[in-house]
Structure 1
């Protein structure tokens, strides 16, 4: 024990005499800082082709042949169940005879053909074939469409009132009035042209009413129970005179009927009574919730097939949409083309079926105008690039793009583009009273009413897209600008030294209905106008001298002729995503794509 204590004390002494290390730990020995990874461009996503397993062999479905003539449907169902090794449950209301010729057809195909002759429904569950009458059932359909009703009205017209060339006077006598006209026609001459356009889009209201009309056409009587024997209801009238001898009449005044007619009448009455006992009319029901996009229909299976077919066609048409690219260009014509743009110099892309100055509709390739529309000049252009047409127009003069909108529009919906300045002007009404002195007036009150008039570009389009990708478009562009201001000639305002300036607006507009293939460009042009501009040069100070100043002043008037051209290009959108071919060019404008482009530029 003592030896262990001595040994421990010796170890402690040696530990106190040990050498202490003087090595300084290096920087970051424990908390080392990891250098940041170099910034690199985000790699492109790797496209991996999904693995598609090889198709597995499928057993050939069993086929059957059924050739019958006026055979009860129950017997056919039992035979099919026996051959297909299925158990069968048949509702007691299933009745009727079937004539069928089916060779090498599957069991569902034969049952579908039977269901078209006899009102029945079937299903197979747990190796049991259930057959029941085609009773009305409630099914729910999803209709994804906005709950909105839109009414669009438009009016474009012009009127010219020409004053009467003669004078008319009215003279009256007791109980009569006569009109005397001299040197003319008496009544004012007028010329008016107007086009009223109206578009109504009430999809939900129309859809519900159409479904009710569709079910009303296919509604029928459904057997729910039988209180009379089938033989009584279906037995034909007996016409054999020897089988039913005549019975003496209880009422001598009753008209004597032949035995055959009496038996036929009794059989008909028994049949009518039997039908009245076991048939009830089931009216189909439509329950719609436009707010949630749900329609519930209570109808038979046959009716549900027609409802589903109708909804598929309606929604396929209503969900079509089109991207409309438009450019409104004003061309200031040079001296060579004062008669307007020469469309024949633009190459074979244009096809004109008319001449400049012709009022009406022309039908170029790819563009078919509807009757009744109004357009000064329409020309078709088969190019797929609007910018190409703009560059070609520069050879006729200076071009100025007034507006270049792009609109995505659903089928038969109206889109409106409005880029205007609401110009404000005031209408002034003053009340003036006679002053105390002779010839003087006193202004009592002045009432001003603000009015606004839009000045700029307004454009409305209503497209209709058919199954072939052709677009029927109703287009109406309106371009307006301020020409000058005129003063209100109200004498009361002049007496009160009040000036009311009213703007004079110049309007250029057209309305047309045309058909364009998807991707082609339609051109509407021919709206020409002359702008008279004045320019003056004078010698400073000298031109202000009375009488002699005009000798040092030069004034010139010149006319600038401009033509308005509208490019219209519809593109039918099959898939409204940026991955689609039609919208892929717009993907570069996304913020993420622009950020990616900047990172790529910084990395390079």
Structure 2
């Protein structure tokens, strides 16, 4: 048997070693198989076979004796005691019932109660709520423990590390430079410093120290008489406190787990709309207010004004009751929460006002109150500072240049932090950014030092920083980021258009301008169960099928 097992394993190893690299078609087929497997419904833990199902649906005929009477209902009674010993009260509660009672010898104190028409579990729960006696029920057996400190171990599933995230949006109008020279021991040097002048700025910092905050909260609950031990590496929390306080700890940990374990699937569309001639002032969003596509005018949307640096409270407050008309003419940054779940409907609407180009379609999952960052692009290094150091010695003066390089990101970045409330509403901190970095040559006249030719970085950035609130599965649109580009073109007659001096009369030049608006559509979906993941996998499989049906270019 051992030899046969070895041969079965060695065979595939030899075949794998001889296999060639996978082709793109094989890779696509493997992806489709994995997605199809994920989209299949998970079988029940105890799924029946076909034979078992047939036997259950068509059982054989047989005579059965009448079954016994159903289990009697819980007996109800009245309990009236005044200053009675606790042990006697507990024993009296189960007297004449089908329950068994075990009372710890250290259980002490007196109980006064007047309960009417209650069952044994109801009476025990009422006494525990008022007097704090701890008990457990194992079937029909009840065990009562004394009011002494107890030790319990809780399991908490969370990352052991702490996370720190920050986002910074600023507008810089210029800078102030200061320069100076100095020398020591035959060495001279020169340097300069720059201070940026900021007209507006928003800085958001997110500190996520779950285990530190959990320790502080538990120590506050148990007080000085209790003890809390946390082990982030193993995910174990040990608490020693009184039974009443232990129940508060248990409730707190359950509420914490239900909040931090929730997660959101974030799907975004970053679009660039080349506006038609009739929409040069921006996209007319008021067209959507026609009874078919509703948007929420009272959404709690925080907007960042690039001109004043102010943060507005809500879209309704900023635009007043005339939202449809104002939304059609404003060219500033704003946000709208649409009562639709379809990206296609909004994209079709945008296509009526210009040519739509999809720059990116990122999809990412994030836990509750955890920052998610997605970047697609390149980092190019540019010269940001050039300095020289002169050393004077016996061999003369030696000048050493020093060049400072700094990376500039060119591409699309999306920074989102979701927060889910108990009703399923989602508050999003959104910071999308689209940047294009190009190189520009600058010629600087440095006087006696001559002329300097410096390759500098020129960055065109479209970004916004806002806080919005939206329902589960609804779409948030952020727009108003417009830019204008100019295009110079020349038309010449072949041959004659290139003749010096005369070519001017056989051609013409024209200049055209284009306006475009950047629109970000974001749809958050709360993931509550495995069925939500299965639905997401099915949607992914449908997109792959649609992509495969498209004609392939050679």
TM-score (norm 1): 0.64
Shift of 1:499: 3.0
Q: Out of 46-55 and 564-573, give the one that drifted further.
A: 46-55
Matched, 1:386 2:343: yes
1:206 corresponds, among 190, 207, 213, to: 213
CA pair 338-125 structure 1, distance change in 2 beyond 3 A: closer
2:118 corresponds, among 101, 105, 109, to: 105
CA deviation profile, 1:239-281 (whole Å, cap 9, x unmatched): xxxxxxxxxxxxxxxxxxxxxxxxxxxxxxxxxxxxxxxxxxx
- Tell me how far apart the structure 1 counterparts of residues 282 and 138 of structure 2 sit (CA, whole Å): 77
CA pair 125-503 structure 1, distance change in 2 beyond 3 A: closer
How many equivalent residue pairs? 443
Shift of 1:94: 4.0
- Tell me how far apart the structure 1 counterparts of residues 199 and 268 of structure 2 sit (CA, whole Å): 30
**1:361–1:377 CA contact under 8 A, matched in 2:** no
CA pair 551-203 structure 1, distance change in 2 beyond 3 A: same
CA pair 344-213 structure 1, distance change in 2 beyond 3 A: same
Residue matched to 1:215: 222
1:351 corresponds, among 269, 279, 295, to: 295
**2:86–2:110 CA contact under 8 A, matched in 1:** yes
Residue matched to 1:322: 264
What's the C-alpha RMSD, in Å, of the aligned pairs? Answer: 4.1
Shift of 1:539: 4.6
Shift of 1:204: 1.4
Residue matched to 2:488: 534
| Mapping of residues 282-431 of structure 1, within 5 Å | 283-346=225-288, 347-348=290-291, 349-351=293-295, 353=297, 362-363=314-315, 376-427=333-384, 429=386, 431=388
CA deviation profile, 1:397-418 (whole Å, cap 9, x unmatched): 2111111101111100000010
CA pair 115-544 structure 1, distance change in 2 beyond 3 A: closer
Shift of 1:48: 5.7
Q: Out of 96-105 and 481-490, give the one that drifted further.
A: 481-490
TM-score (norm 2): 0.69
Residue matched to 2:466: 512
Shift of 1:147: 1.6
Shift of 1:215: 0.9
| Mapping of residues 53-452 of structure 1, within 5 Å | 57-80=70-93, 82-84=95-97, 93-122=106-135, 131-160=144-173, 192-216=199-223, 283-346=225-288, 347-348=290-291, 349-351=293-295, 353=297, 362-363=314-315, 376-427=333-384, 429=386, 431=388, 444-452=399-407
- Tell me how far apart the structure 1 counterparts of residues 342 and 273 of structure 2 sit (CA, whole Å): 19
**2:304–2:464 CA contact under 8 A, matched in 1:** no
- Tell me how far apart the structure 1 counterparts of residues 398 and 69 of structure 2 sit (CA, whole Å): 100
Greater share of strand:
2
Q: Which has the higher contact order (CA 8 A, sep 6+)?
A: 2
Matched, 1:477 2:416: no
Could you tell me which runs of 5 or more consecutive residues in structure 1 were left unpaired when the two chains were aligned: 1-41, 164-189, 220-282, 365-374, 434-441, 599-604
Q: SS at the partner of 1:500?
A: strand
Q: SS at the partner of 1:345?
A: helix
Report the structure number with the largest CA radius of gyration: 1
- Tell me how far apart the structure 2 counterparts of residues 418 and 198 of structure 1 sit (CA, whole Å): 19
**2:492–2:498 CA contact under 8 A, matched in 1:** no
CA deviation profile, 1:213-239 (whole Å, cap 9, x unmatched): 1111xx7xxxxxxxxxxxxxxxxxxxx
**2:107–2:147 CA contact under 8 A, matched in 1:** no
CA deviation profile, 1:33-61 (whole Å, cap 9, x unmatched): xxxxxxxxx9x999869769999932323
Q: SS at the partner of 1:315?
A: helix
Q: SS at the partner of 2:444?
A: coil
**1:361–1:378 CA contact under 8 A, matched in 2:** no
